[in-house]
Structure 1
Amino acid sequence: MRAAYTEKIADLSFSLATMCRQADAAMASATQALLQADLAIAEKVISDHDELDAMRASCEEKAFALLALQAPVAGDLRSVVSGIQAVNDLDRMGRLALHVAKITRRRHPKQALPEEVKAYFAEMGRVAAHLAKGAAEVLENHDAEQALQLLDEDDAMDDLHRHLFSVLMDREWKHGVAAAVDVTLLGRYYERFADHSVEVARKVIYLVTGKIPEDAV
């Protein structure tokens, strides 16, 4: 019975990593749609979100079933509780990608992004993908050192977000209020996507060590 329980915990970790990779793929596609004003790609991100929502429900069901099967303690309990919490972060990551795709669809056939901010979002998309891939890996391998590295790598997204805001506040901005609102929202979506990736890494650190990283307090 113990071996079967351990196997189910490993299966939950694998399912969480799969969900994380799905959210990563959704944001990568949403970024491509945003940069290219590609309605077909944006529509696919939107329609595929149901699959990610089904993954969320499946992960939650697996986690709560593990709580019901036994009264887990110590490491097992941390695995299950961390898994339940991680599902919420992964769900938010998928929804943030969905929001990006919806802005692309709403502005089509026009570009949602003025030319001078496209490079910012291309780089934000790259950083988001890097963090999400790292989060998926640590969900699967439970490598606390790798997870700890991800906490620092989030700084790149914060820097990009600050620089983007300085562009919006520049007197030379000539694209109007609607474009400024879109860019502000989009910047926030990428920043939060990165934050949730890092939160997943923090949960893995807690799962492995039983301690909350200092900068999470």
Structure 2
Amino acid sequence: MCQVRTQFTRELLALTNDLTLMCRLAHDAAERVTAALGDADLAAAYEAFAHDEQLQKMYSACEARTVVLLALQAPVARDLRHVVTAIQIAGELSRIGWLISRVADHVYKYHPEPVAPQHLMDILTAMSRLAAHYTALAGETVATGRESATPESGSLAMDHLHRQLHTALADPTHTRPSTEAAIDIAMVGNKLERCIDHTNRIDRLIRFLDTGIPPTAQPSDAE
């Protein structure tokens, strides 16, 4: 029994280490797409693609590892919560990587031109930097097992930037982009905003691991 428990503990540690690495990959992808957006840098966009590809491979590996843990170890109580939380966090990181990759798609589409005029690009790069920052904080949350002190602040800041973006898109004092370009710009903003939603979800999952309160039952810190 002791040997089984030791093996289970090792598998859990390996799973946590994988999640930490996935957080690093997601953060690196967000940083590279920020550079890709700001400089119309195709090489940086390709690096974001590469980070996402690694991230998706690691997600598949984590998924396989958790299936083995659930099937062979039959964990209960907190151990079960740990395994279930881990695969959910891996899923959130996978979605962040996918969103970042879709932003990089737009850089590729418009290269060598920037995705947006400068007054709009300034807002998009600010949104991308915010996504990268909160992805890094999510990594710290996963590594330490402690939830963020202000999990809602990223959502508030991103919401403010998103509203700025939509206001700027409709601003008659600037030359408006074509309808297709305006839709693409709005989509980039939406994808960056959704990254923050996933980092918030990670924070709530860490809280669930600590308290047992499901994310859907947790009160919003903004309330």
* Match of residue 219 from structure 2: 214
Which of 24, 38, 42 is the equivalent residue of 1:39?
42
Instruction: Give the structure with the higher percent helix.
Output: 1
TM-score with structure 2 setting the length: 0.89
Q: CA deviation at 1:179?
A: 2.2
Any unmatched runs of 5+ in structure 1? none
Secondary structure in 2 aligned to 1:214?
coil
Secondary structure in 1 aligned to 2:112?
coil
* Match of residue 141 from structure 2: 138
Which of 10, 18, 21 is the equivalent residue of 1:18?
21
* Match of residue 152 from structure 2: 151
Structure 2 counterparts to residues 82-121 of structure 1, below 5 A: 82-121=85-124
Any unmatched runs of 5+ in structure 2? none
Instruction: Please list the CA deviations of residues 2-30 of structure 1 after superposition, one character each: whole Å capped at 9, or x if unmatched.
Output: 23212221221221121121011111101
Instruction: Please list the CA deviations of residues 80-106 of structure 1 after superposition, one character each: whole Å capped at 9, or x if unmatched.
Output: 111121122111100111111110011
Q: CA deviation at 1:124?
A: 1.2
Task: Give the aligned residue type for 2:131.
Answer: A
Q: CA deviation at 1:149?
A: 2.1
Q: CA deviation at 1:72?
A: 1.3
Q: Percent identical across equivalent pairs?
A: 35
Tell me if structure 2 keeps the 8 A contact 1:127–1:157.
yes
Task: Give the aligned residue type for 1:6.
Answer: T
Secondary structure in 1 aligned to 2:53?
helix
Q: CA RMSD in A?
A: 1.7
4+ runs deviating over 4 angstroms = none
Aligned length: 214
* Match of residue 203 from structure 1: 205
Q: CA deviation at 1:125?
A: 1.9
